[in-house]
Amino acid sequence: MPIFPEENDFLSLFESKPMLLDTTKKDLPFYYNEATYRFSNGQEDFVIKLCPSYGEVKIQVSMHSSNRLLSLLDLKRVEKLEITADKKERASVLLTIDNEDSQQMIEIDFKPYFKQIFKEHLT
C-alpha cells in the first residue's frame, strides 16, 4: 500500500485547493480519490495530479512566462511520497519507487524554483 501524506499536508505544501475527480461521494477519503493541484512559484507553473491509493503521481512543470514545458513526470508505482520541506520560501518532496533490483528516488523542489534530482540505488 503506497504511503502518502494527508490531504491537509498537500494543502499547506501546494498552497492551493485540489480539484477532485470524484465529488459525488462526500465521504470518499482523499486517499481513494484523484486530486489535481495547480499553482505557481512565480517562475514556473505546476500541475500535480495525485492518486494515492494507486501510487500514481503526475507532475507537469511549465515556464510561467512562455508556458513552455520544462518537465513531465508520469509515475504509476510510487511507493512513498514524503514532504521534505514545507515553508513559505521552500517546498520540496521525495518520491520513492521500489523495483525488484533497485530503488529509485526523485527529489523535487517547487520553491524557490523548480529542481529535479533522480537517483537509482541497486538493492
pLDDT tens digit sequence for 57-87: 999 999 999 999 999 999 999 999 999 999 9
Q: pLDDT per residue over 37-62, tens digit each?
A: 999 999 999 999 999 999 999 999 99
Cell of 48: 500535480
Amino acid 14 reads F
Cα gap 95→82, rounded to integer Å: 7
Cα gap 45→14, rounded to integer Å: 11
Q: What is the pLDDT of residue 25?
A: 76
Q: What are 95-100's contacts with CB under 8 Å, separation 24+?
A: 95/57, 98/123
Q: What is the pLDDT of residue 79?
A: 98
Task: Examine the pLDDT at 23 and tell me if it is beyond 90.
Answer: no
Q: What is the pLDDT of residue 22?
A: 86
In whole numbers, what is the pLDDT of the chain averaged over residues? 96
Q: What is the pLDDT of residue 26?
A: 77
Closest CA to 81 of 41, 35, 39: 35
